[in-house]
Amino acid sequence: MFGRVALDTYIDLRDVRVSGYVSVGLITLVAAASVWGTVNDWQGGSPSWSFLAIVLLLPAAVAFVVWYRNATHNAEAIALHGVRMVSQVWKASDPDQREVPFAERVASPLIKPWQYAFLTMVLCDVLESLLLDTRVYVVFSTLSTLCALGAAGLACFVVFRISAMQQRFAVPIRQRP
């Protein structure tokens, strides 16, 4: 008697685009300041640019945490599964793996290198600050910058890709009767 009514499927997700753009912008500024600081170090200049990179790291970290909290919230809503790590957020957010059981989903192989590059950058920054008035300061400054560039590039990729994947879930999908 009554026909079946088609409803739209919609998952209420937080918008991660703005916090993602802010994170990526600040991460890029940290990497740029680190490069400029290292160039100044090579020329015997002041370490103030390297210090600027460290100062910019705090707002970049805050912006990333805001993005990550929202992306984690979205991933849990999408996958209906406890999500805490970046690899799990990727697995939950990937619409191409929607039909695959969560335990069998695959995360991006670039997540681990990004995390290792970031940790190496932090370690080099610590060593750089401890060895400020020595000859090896420039070595650790250069290593820190190389790791910062690698970590920044990979972080930007991960943030953009997860944000784009989650955005696909936020768009209502018309169900056909």
> How far apart are the C-alpha atoms of 154 and 111, rounded to whole Å?
8
For residue 9, which phi and psi values (nearest 5 degrees)? -90, 125
Helix ranges (DSSP H) in the chain = 17-42, 48-79, 86-93, 111-130, 137-170
pTM: 0.83
For the chain, the domains span 12-174
Query: Quick check: 92 and 102 in contact, CB under 8 A?
Result: yes
pLDDT tens, the chain, 177 aa long: 334 433 345 567 899 999 999 999 999 998 998 888 888 877 776 666 667 877 898 999 999 999 999 999 999 998 888 899 999 999 999 999 989 999 999 999 999 999 999 999 889 888 888 887 788 888 888 898 999 999 999 999 999 999 999 988 876 555 666
